[in-house]
A and B are shown apart, each in its own frame.
Chain A
Amino acid sequence: MEVRLSRFGPCGVLVRFADELDADSLSLCRGLVRWVDDHPPEGLVDCVPACTALLLEFAEPVSERRLRVLRQALRIVRPLPAEEATLHTLPVVYDGEDLEELAARKNLPVAEVVSRHAAPTYSVFVIGFAPGFPYLGPLDEKLHLPRRSTPRLRVPAGSVAIGGEHTGIYSIASPGGWWLIGRTPVGVFSPELARGDGDVAAFRLQPGDRVRLEPVSP
């Protein structure tokens, strides 16, 4: 679909690039983010990519002229194919507290939950909820399960979990309502690299990156 720009308050520009989340939308999102990084518009303070739209936040109100120029520039941005995104392989110990309950609720043997969960090459659709927390997808439909009715007060960092149609990795210890099915010893967020001015290396994953999960024994 064509990229559509609209205002998001006086200082924001919302760039809609898809109606649905799929490989094409991800490539286009990656292309737009790359364009913004290579040609940072004057006064840009933040860039927030999500599933089907990207928000550009400016320090000052955006003029009509500025909006027109952006519209022209972004219309011709080319997708950046996901196949070229960095591929990460993360070891996962599938021994989460909720693994058995999730398997029972989905009427699947535990081993099948694990094999289905570890089968795809996921894409990082969005990073949100907490610093560095990746929403990975698409998740096997047989594993979709609405969040737990009572969230846990503390989910440890590194927990691999399922929430609704997404799977993700808790980047920091936090409250959370997703089903815990495993854990990875590889940190997706390194708080010590956030110190001082902060380093982008604090985040293992970039939006659009690809991720494989490799079952390992504890």
Chain B
Amino acid sequence: MKPVLKVLHPGAGCSLQDPGRPGWKRYGVPAGGAMDRESAGWANRLVGNPEEAPVLELALTGARLQVLREAELALTGADVDGSHPRWRSFFVRAGEEIQFRGMRGGVWSYLAVAGGFVGPRWFGSVSVNARAGFGSACGPGTELVAGEASRLSAVASRYVREAERPRFSPEMEVPVWPGPEWEVLDPASAAQFLSGPWNISPHGDRTGYRLDGPLLDISPRSMLSAPLAVGTIQLPPGGRPLVILRDGPTVGGYPRLAIVDPSALSRFTQCAPGSTVRFRLLT
């Protein structure tokens, strides 16, 4: 198979992702996968791929990619200025360059190619998790291979209507469920947790986002290692909550205050550093 793209510069980071590898958490293997499942799914649908096909996930901006052969692509996710349109499929020719420039909102962009990217798999998934030893992020010179496109259509490009696209504003109300240790939090801290507001700290990555805001108090501060899920909000000893995300640990010893509603997870991962979130408790 002939490579379709070459990474000239990875920007803030890019890697292949699919829906991940559920089923291995008992062995300490996080499920991983695309941070924003919804945008990744849209990118695939726009080029006629199955929703779970591997896509290129790009953090923030700065990436430059060179096209090595004709292909149909689609770009979704974060709101980034660039050389090519977003939320619609488009054709590229060998020699073209795809560039990511100014950042307007969101964190993660998704680039799909008709036929889907192809890469080595670990536990059934191409999702890169370098820390766990599953592949490595793209660097300058990385060549990306695509599978056979089922259809190289000459018809007008497909697009996602404005009204259907997710909007990544710098403020989000996040619906959460009470976590196992929610009851341990004293009423004043519980009220503070809900009123916030919380700022997404710049020290975040695919494993989780830290929240800056009021310092919460809880005792006991640590406990025996307990199960975690993607979206679990832990309170480490520093008093600043940590939201566990796709590549996050499978178990942890800090109180679990709340759990982000799964319907809001993809949107939450698009909260850029500095954006403001508030939590709304569901019961």
Q: Which residues of A contact B (CB under 8 A)?
A: 6-12, 14, 21, 33, 45-55, 57, 125-133, 135, 171-172, 174, 191, 194-198, 200, 202-203, 207
Min Cβ gap B266→A in Å is 14
Min Cβ gap A24→B in Å is 14
Residues of B within 8 A of A198 (CB): 21, 24, 122-124
10 A-B residue pairs with Cβ-Cβ distance under 8 Å, sorted by A, are A9-B229, A11-B262, A49-B26, A50-B227, A52-B224, A53-B226, A127-B26, A128-B251, A191-B122, A198-B123
Min Cβ gap B135→A in Å is 10
Interface SS of chain B: loop
Among residues 118 to 167 in chain B, which have CB atoms less than 8 Å away from a CB atom of chain A?
120-124, 131-134
Does chain A have a CB within 8 A of B23?
A: yes
Interface SS of chain A: mixed
The answer, among B28, B121, B227, for a CB contact under 8 Å with A55, is B227
Q: Which residues of B contact A (CB under 8 A)?
A: 21-29, 31, 120-124, 131-134, 177, 179-180, 224-229, 231, 249-251, 259-262
B224 and A48 within 8 A (CB): no
Residues of A within 8 A of B227 (CB): 8, 14, 48-50, 53-55
A52 and B177 within 8 A (CB): no
Q: Chain B residue with minimal CB distance to A61?
A: B262
Min Cβ gap B84→A in Å is 33
B123 and A197 within 8 A (CB): yes
Indicate the member of B28, B121, B133, B224 with the most A CB atoms within 10 Å: B28
Q: Chain B residue with minimal CB distance to A157?
A: B133
A48 and B133 within 8 A (CB): no
Min Cβ gap B125→A in Å is 9
Residues of B within 8 A of A47 (CB): 25-26
Min Cβ gap B144→A in Å is 19
B25 and A48 within 8 A (CB): yes
CB-CB under 8 A for A51 and B226, given A128-B249, A130-B132:
yes
